[in-house]
Amino acid sequence: MSLRVIGRRIVAGAVPLALLVSGCASPSPTMSDFQTKTRTTARAVAGTAAVAQVSAQAWSRGQLTDAYADTLVTEAEDDVSSIIQTYDSRQPPTAAAVALKGRLDKPLQDISSALTDLRIALRRNDRRGVAQAVAALRQPLTTLGPLQQVGL
């Protein structure tokens, strides 16, 4: 067997193995898996939005520069958008999972919108708008609380 053939076989075996191990684009085949995904999504979004909230408050107190606050909030907005996209790509396996997804969708969208508003207000140097956007984050963050414990 030539080295080239051996090389091809190694690649042919290693690529599916790497994909399997890294879990790329794997579905959520059971309710338990979907609950875990929901829980981690809720936690990730809550943690990211909380940083944006704290950053905006620090900016209002004059502790953060405009550029730094904008960077933090823009990154939070991008991260939340990416997390939501990943969660939406998962197929809910049962009717109960569809209902669970429905419970999470609303606060996720509210947080995403509030972060966009926050970024716009920060870039406009609009203190009132920042305060409103920070306030708008409170309710969906509270709703996410129980969802961070789903399945435990």
**Does the protein bind another protein through residue 55 (CB under 8 A)?**
yes
Interaction of residue 120 with another protein, rule CB under 8 A: no
Question: Cα separation of 111 and 136, whole Å?
Answer: 8
Q: How far is the CB of 123 from another protein (least distance, A)?
A: 9
Minimal distance, residue 89 CB to another protein, in Å: 15
Q: How far apart are CA 134 and CA 92, in angstroms?
A: 31
Per-residue contact track with another protein, 6 to 25, x per CB under 8 A? ------------x--xxx--
CA distances 86 to 26, 75, 79, 120, 145, Å, are 11, 16, 11, 25, 20
Interface stretch with another protein, choices 30-38, 48-56, 95-103, 124-132 (CB under 8 A): 48-56
In the complex with another protein, the residue whose CB is nearer, 66 or 96, is 66
Contact 58, 69 (CB under 8 A): yes
Instruction: Round to whole Å and give the CA distance between 140 and 151.
Output: 20
Q: How far is the CB of 54 from another protein (least distance, A)?
A: 7
Q: How far apart are CA 130 and CA 7, in angstroms?
A: 57
Tell whether residue 80 is a contact of another protein (CB under 8 A): no
Considering only residues 85-114, where is the footprint of another protein by CB under 8 A? none
